[in-house]
């Protein structure tokens, strides 16, 4: 059984191990399993130095943070001062972060030891972790299948056991989907719950940082450390973020679980449906009430998402122009060719495709027909969830419509890749918290159930996820 944060903290407190030993083990695992390609870079010197400092504080009896001595990975679009931040792209291949993201800063303040930056789809644009300039990530559990994306490196590092947990980012499912592909827990908090300061933007109204871990308890612990208002981020929620860990096991077993008819019908793999239904039946046997709900606008979620996300991406990625930082083409002869060549050479095909699509939907004559309509659909999706929550406490859906794609399938057929996000993008559009919890197997790989709660009800969501996990273990 893989190590957990909670278990490792107990070992550290008892003296059974040291922070330095844990950091060394994580670094050795990353290097021994380099074929996974889960990391873009490792920080051997910095990690060992931080670990030794924690050991010294523990030996001196000093007060330590909630993650003191725990080795973690951070997705390569989240800044960590002094480390490269490539976003999986050639255009940022040599960019070194000048400061810590707020999430990274809070990890360090809690005593976490960051061992490296996790690989990802380029600029978080993808669902397979095959578009990185550093090469594709391999699923350590099922190598013939994708590890999911875009936080595939974070998921793979946790699934391999290199680190007990990692940070990812989720724009349309990029935490929950790779977690499902690799058989770990992936938690996307409400929009605004975790600061985006220092997260390289893909789609600013959708992006959210969150934890990936082996257990719901570990995900709650990591979330509690990074959550909370940040004045650096204008989209950061100002309402208090109560600690979820102390209340994790106090949830009401008689919780009402909404089951949307649109999510468990046509288009869902029969074996996946059977496994997920078994998980729901287990919850019912434990006291939960299963309530039929409807999300009629869900069928429009993919179209709405890929219009809004690409539109925001076209604006956000315009800063990578070869002028201020990042890749600059040596072939440029004037300003126009500098822009054109630097961006053509620096961005991969999937990123170029999405920038072009986003520029198109924002262009004169198409803005109202596409972007404005997509925003209206976004509101309808949020309203559907609000109506559903009027009769239930959490909503349950699949994470994936079937087993993970085989390696290379998504690259050959981008539309097939986009459609695997059908059950995850709606949460980002509505700003809701969601969690992916492994509940069985499908097609010889992992199957996960997604639980969704109203905005800022992370405690309720994690309580429900913990109960589900307990029943399925």
Give residue 67's pLDDT.
98
Q: What whole-number distance in Å separates Cα of residue 368 and Cα of residue 384?
A: 23
- Could you say which residues of the chain have pLDDT below 70? 1, 473
Q: What whole-number distance in Å separates Cα of residue 469 and Cα of residue 213?
A: 13
Residue 75 known to be catalytic: yes
Q: What whole-number distance in Å separates Cα of residue 11 and Cα of residue 25?
A: 14
Give residue 252's pLDDT.
92
Written as six digits, the tokens of 419 are 């459609």
Q: Where on the phi/psi map is residue 392: left (φ > 0), alpha (ψ -120 to 50), or beta?
A: beta
Catalytic residue among 19, 29, 89, 174: 174
Give residue 1's pLDDT.
59
Residue 174 known to be catalytic: yes
User: Is the backbone peptide bond immediately before 401 cis, with ω within 30 degrees of 0?
Assistant: no
Ordered by start, the domain boundaries in the chain are: 5-248
Give residue 142's pLDDT.
97
Distances from the Cα of 320 to the Cαs of 43, 96, 228, 342, 348, in angstroms? 26, 15, 30, 9, 13
Q: Which of 434, 205, 170 is nearest to 309 (CA)?
A: 205
Model confidence, pTM: 0.96
Residue 94's H or E segment, with its range, is none
Q: What whole-number distance in Å separates Cα of residue 115 and Cα of residue 289?
A: 43
Q: What whole-number distance in Å separates Cα of residue 302 and Cα of residue 320?
A: 27
Written as six digits, the tokens of 230 are 């940040």
Residue 307's H or E segment, with its range, is helix 301-316
Catalytic residue among 3, 19, 29, 75: 75
**Which alpha helices (H) appear in 185-269, and where do they start and end?**
216-226
Domain range 5-248, CATH class: alpha beta
Burial of 204 (0-12, 13-18, 19+ CB in 10 A): middle
Written as six digits, the tokens of 204 are 């600013």
Give residue 415's pLDDT.
83
Q: Which of 126, 93, 97, 110 is nearest to 165 (CA)?
A: 110
Residue 426 known to be catalytic: no
Catalytic residue among 19, 89, 127, 150: 150
Give residue 419's pLDDT.
87
Give residue 429's pLDDT.
98
Give residue 266's pLDDT.
86
Residue 295 φ/ψ, nearest 5 degrees: -125, 75
Q: What angle do CA 180, 183, 184 make, to 5 degrees?
A: 90
Give the number of residues written for the chain: 473
């Amino acid at each position: 059984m893989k190590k957990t944060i909670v278990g490792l903290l107990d070992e550290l407190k008892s003296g059974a191990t040291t922070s330095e030993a844990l950091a060394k083990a994580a670094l050795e695992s990353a290097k021994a399993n380099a074929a996974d390609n889960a990391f873009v870079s490792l920080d051997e010197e910095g990690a060992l130095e931080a670990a030794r400092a924690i050991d010294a504080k523990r030996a001196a009896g000093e007060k330590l943070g909630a993650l003191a001595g725990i080795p973690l990975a951070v997705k390569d679009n989240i800044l960590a001062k002094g480390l490269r931040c490539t976003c999986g792209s050639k255009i940022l291949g040599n960019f070194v972060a000048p400061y810590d993201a707020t999430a990274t800063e809070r990890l360090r303040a809690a005593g976490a030891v960051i061992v490296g930056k996790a690989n990802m789809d380029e600029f978080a644009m993808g669902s397979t972790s095959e578009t990185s300039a550093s090469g594709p990530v391999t699923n350590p559990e099922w190598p013939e299948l994708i590890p999911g994306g875009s936080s595939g490196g974070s998921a793979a590092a946790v699934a391999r056991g290199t680190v007990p947990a990692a940070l990812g980012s989720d724009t349309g499912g990029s935490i929950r989907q790779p977690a499902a592909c690799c058989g770990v827990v992936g938690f996307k908090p409400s929009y605004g719950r975790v600061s985006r300061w220092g997260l390289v933007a893909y789609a600013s109204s959708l992006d959210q940082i969150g934890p990936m871990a082996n257990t719901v308890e570990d995900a709650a612990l990591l979330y509690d450390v990074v959550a909370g208002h940040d004045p650096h981020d204008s989209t950061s929620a100002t309402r208090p973020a109560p600690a979820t860990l102390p209340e994790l096991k106090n949830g009401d077993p008689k919780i009402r679980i909404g089951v949307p008819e649109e999510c468990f019908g046509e288009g869902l793999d029969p074996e996946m449906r059977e496994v997920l239904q078994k998980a729901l039946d287990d919850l019912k046997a434990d006291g939960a009430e299963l309530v039929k709900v409807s999300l009629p606008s869900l069928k429009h979620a993919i179209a709405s998402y890929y219009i809004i996300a690409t539109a925001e991406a076209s604006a956000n990625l315009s800063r990578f122009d070869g002028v201020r930082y990042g890749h600059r083409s040596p072939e440029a002869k004037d300003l126009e060719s500098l822009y054109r060549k630097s961006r053509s050479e620096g961005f991969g095909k999937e990123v170029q495709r999405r920038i072009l699509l986003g520029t198109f939907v924002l262009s004169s004559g198409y803005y109202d027909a596409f972007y404005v309509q997509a925003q209206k659909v976004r509101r309808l999706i949020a309203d559907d969830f609000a109506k559903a929550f009027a009769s239930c406490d959490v909503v349950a859906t699949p994470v994936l419509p079937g087993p993970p794609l085989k390696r290379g399938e998504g690259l050959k057929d981008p539309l097939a890749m986009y459609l695997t996000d059908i059950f995850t993008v709606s949460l980002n559009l509505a700003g809701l918290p969601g969690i992916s919890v492994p509940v069985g197997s499908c097609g010889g790989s992992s199957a996960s159930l997604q639980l969704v709660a109203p905005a800022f009800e992370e405690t309720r969501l994690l309580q429900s996820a913990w109960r589900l996990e307990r029943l399925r273990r």
